[in-house]
Amino acid sequence: MGLPSAKLAGALMRLLKNRLVIAIVSAVLGAVGWLVAENLIPERKDLGKPLPHHLAAGDPQFGRSMAALFGSNMLPGNRIETLVNGNEIFPAMLKALRGATQTITFETYIYWRGDVADQFAEVLSQKAREGVSVKVLLDWVGSIPMEEALVERMKAAGVEVVRFRPVAWSTLDKVNNRTHRKIVVVDGRIGFTGGVGIGDEWNGDARTKAEWRDNHYQVEGPVVAELQAAFAEHWLEAGGELLMGDRFFPALAPAGDSPAQVVASSTNQRSVMHLMLMTALSSAKTRIRLGTPYFVPDETTRKQLLDARKRGVEIDILIPGPITDARIVHKASRHFWGELLDAGIRIHEFEPTMYHCKLVVVDEAWASVGSTNIDDRALRLNDEVNLNAYDPAFARAQIAVFEADLKRARPYTLAQWQARSSWEQLSDWLASLLRSQI
Q: How far apart are CA 115 and CA 378, in angstroms?
A: 28
Checking if the pLDDT of 41 tops 80, the result is no
User: Active site residue: 127, 135, 139, 187, which one?
Assistant: 187
Residue among 239, 243, 298, 233 nearest 267 (CA):
233
Is 358 catalytic? The answer is yes
**Each residue of 177-189: pLDDT tens digit?**
999 999 999 999 9
- Per the annotation, the verdict on 335 as an active-site residue is no
Question: Would you say residue 24 has pLDDT above 90?
Answer: no
Q: How confident is the model at residue 4 (pLDDT cuts 50, 70, 90)?
A: low
Average pLDDT rounded to a whole number, residues 116-133: 98
Q: What is the pTM of this model?
A: 0.89
Lowest mean pLDDT among 90-99, 136-145, 261-270, 404-413: 261-270
Would you say 401 and 82 are in contact if contact means Cβ atoms under 8 Å apart?
yes
From the list 214, 316, 363, 376, the catalytic residue is 363
Give the model confidence (pLDDT) of 189-209 as tens digits. Answer: 999 999 999 999 999 999 999
Least confident residue range of 6-20, 56-70, 152-166, 245-259:
6-20
Q: What is the mean pLDDT of residues 385-397?
A: 98
Query: Which amino acid would we find at residue 142?
Result: G
Percent of the chain with pLDDT over 70: 89
Phi, psi at 241, each rounded to 5°: -125, 135
414-436 pLDDT, tens digit per residue, is 999 999 999 999 999 999 999 98
In the residue annotation, 356 being an active-site residue is answered as yes
> pLDDT tens-digit profile of 50-104?
898 988 999 988 988 888 888 678 999 999 999 999 999 999 999 999 999 999 9
By C-alpha distance, which of 244, 123, 245 is closest to 184? Answer: 123
Which listed residue (298, 330, 356, 405) is catalytic? 356
Q: Is 363 a catalytic residue?
A: yes
Higher pLDDT, 39 or 150: 150
Mean pLDDT over each residue of the chain, to the nearest integer? 91
Signed CA dihedral, 192, 194, 195, 200: sign only? negative
Pairing of strands 314-320, 287-291: parallel
Domains, the chain, ordered by start: 60-432 (3.30.870.10)
Cα gap 32→26, rounded to integer Å: 10
Q: For residue 11, is pLDDT > 70?
A: no
Residue of 135, 180, 234, 331 marked active site: 180
Asked whether residue 21 carries a pLDDT value surpassing 80, the answer given is no
Out of 331, 335, 358, 428, pick the active-site residue: 358
- Per residue in 234-292, pLDDT tens? 999 999 999 999 999 999 999 999 999 999 998 777 689 999 999 999 999 999 999 99
